[in-house]
Structure 1
Amino acid sequence: MILDTPAGSSPCDGDAVATRVAYFVSDSTGITAETLGSALLANFPALPFARHTIPFVDTLDGARAVARDIQSLIASGAQPVVFTTVKSADILRELEVRGAVVVDLLSGHLTELEVAFGTTRSEQLGQFHGLGDIKQYFARMRAVEYAIEHDDGQSGRALDIADVILIAPSRCGKTPTTMYLALQYGLLVANYPLTDDDFPTDHLPPSVNRHAPKCFGLTTTPLRLSQVRHERRPDSVYSSLAQCTLELRRAEDLYRRNRVPFLNSSTKSVEEMSAVIMQSMRLRN
């Protein structure tokens, strides 16, 4: 069980806005339930949620254990909402606890597809997150290996086959975005850190300059960058607001001079950043 509860609080604290409890229950990894459920909860930003992700609930005993946990929360005054991607009707019935809001994220859509396709669904577990297309699976693994080799400018080898090269000052979000694009879409992504050694210059750093059409820049706000760097090197020149302001200004000027598209990562998730990069660079989805 993964619990993400606001620090210093419990699901039943008597705050002005009571913390609700959200369960993401799945007969597989829980990724789909958590992704879809969180997308729905994002429409209620004023409501705080304590979140439980419970994967591999694929037996009646497992479902009953989850149901007991939910019942105990209800007894203590909580108002849980349960998002589920469980396909077994018997297991789903065990999760339908009185007093909880149960949202079956699959049933309505699967029923519609059964009608449209003229066939019944399979209750085989784990199909969405299985290997699926074996070529696609190995392409993603290759992309992850490529991302690791080319993280933070460690290697200049085979940059000509990169789908995109992310460039930015340190701690602007290059690495997580690189890994997401590799793992989620199988894209070959390298990233390069802009440092003091790369300035002053009118051109991109030599190792990426000849691949300029593949470059995409990241930036952020000076305050946000200073906060992130302070966690790594507190009270250093590296994390100072003045240094962060200087590095970001130089980077953005460099992007503009070389016509490198860029975005501000300070208010965007990795998923949003990846979508913008793919659209801007016209990469396949």
Structure 2
Amino acid sequence: MKRSVFYISDRTGITAEMLGQALLPQFDGFEFEEATLPYIDNEEAAREAVNRINAAAVADGTPPLVFDTMVRAELRAIIRESNSIVMDMFQMFVPHLEEALGAQCQYRVGKAHSMDNLGQYESRIDAVNFALNNDDGAITKYYEQAELILVGVSRSGKTPTSLYLAMQFGIRVANYPITEEDLESPSLPKPLRPFRDKLFGLTINPDRLQQIRSERRANSRYASLEQCRMEVKEVEGIYQRENIRYLDTTSRSVEEIATKILAAVGIKRHH
């Protein structure tokens, strides 16, 4: 069954998306058609959003779901005029927080993703640049500056996990692909040996790895199931011999992979 979903905010809409995308997957049998409407920060924009919501209601034959993180009460009131079911984050949570804290909410726009703490923002930017500059083993001379070095076979999830950890938490992560040439030796590749305590391994089901590699290089030796099985087996052998902690990424999202890595290695999130 199809349901339209709108994420509405007077800023980026990231918080509304996170709330909806955490809740909606818990409901089976629905096809959610999602749209994000950011920067709804004036009456005209709010009225346009209402028109889009109402048009979806007519097309679907059922009211859309709206996840709303708008701060200004007068704009939230306009959104509630639409033919929709509104999940208003401020109305859901703020009254309980005000009661618990004994204080009034100030309703300041943009506080959830502001740049009030410039140091934290710059730390994340620096971490992203570090991850990009130290991606895929191209440069290894800065590994001493890394807080974490992800290792694994090609296409096991190293790059997206590195960038997620950098963007979300400001963690300086490098990643190194263990290639077929590296597997000719039973020990760690030479560039990694001085940094054994920073290593964390990723592995993946060979069948899934074949699917991913085939999207990149179809009908190649690189994407063959035999090659994938060999590489995964050998890399997991290295992890076990070298006592490197590792995680199977096969059915995990990048968010879950990152969270499990942080829990395993004990690196503090740099919020």
Q: TM-score, normalised by structure 1?
A: 0.90
Q: TM-score, normalised by structure 2?
A: 0.95
What does 1:60-209 correspond to in 2, within 5 Å? 60-76=43-59, 77-97=61-81, 99-209=83-193
Whether 2:5 is the aligned partner of 1:22: answer yes
Contact 2:183 2:235 survives alignment (8 Å): no
Identity %: 37
Runs of 4 or more, structure 1, over 6 Å off, are: none
Decide which moves more: 272-281 or 222-231: 222-231
Specify which of 33, 37, 50 is matched with residue 16 of structure 2.
33
The separation in 1 between residues aligned to 2:57 and 2:142, in whole angstroms, is: 57
The separation in 1 between residues aligned to 2:62 and 2:187, in whole angstroms, is: 58
Cα RMSD after superposing both structures: 1.4
Task: Report deviation, 1:98.
Answer: 5.2
Unmatched runs of 5 consecutive residues or more in structure 2: none
Contact 1:255 1:262 survives alignment (8 Å): yes
Task: Report deviation, 1:178.
Answer: 0.1
2:231 alignment partner, SS class: helix
The separation in 2 between residues aligned to 1:175 and 1:270, in whole angstroms, is: 10
> Deviation per CA, 1:238-268, whole angstroms, max 9, x where unpaired?
1111111111111111111111111111111
Specify which of 211, 215, 223 is matched with residue 207 of structure 2.
223
The structure in which a higher percent of residues are helix is 2
Contact 1:74 1:100 survives alignment (8 Å): yes
- Number of aligned residue pairs: 268
> Deviation per CA, 1:15-54, whole angstroms, max 9, x where unpaired?
xxx2111111111000000001111112113322011111
The separation in 2 between residues aligned to 1:39 and 1:272, in whole angstroms, is: 12
Decide which moves more: 197-206 or 173-182: 197-206
Partner letter of residue 55 of structure 2? S
The separation in 2 between residues aligned to 1:123 and 1:68, in whole angstroms, is: 26
Partner letter of residue 247 of structure 2? L
> Deviation per CA, 1:155-211, whole angstroms, max 9, x where unpaired?
112212211100011111100000010111111100000101101222211101121
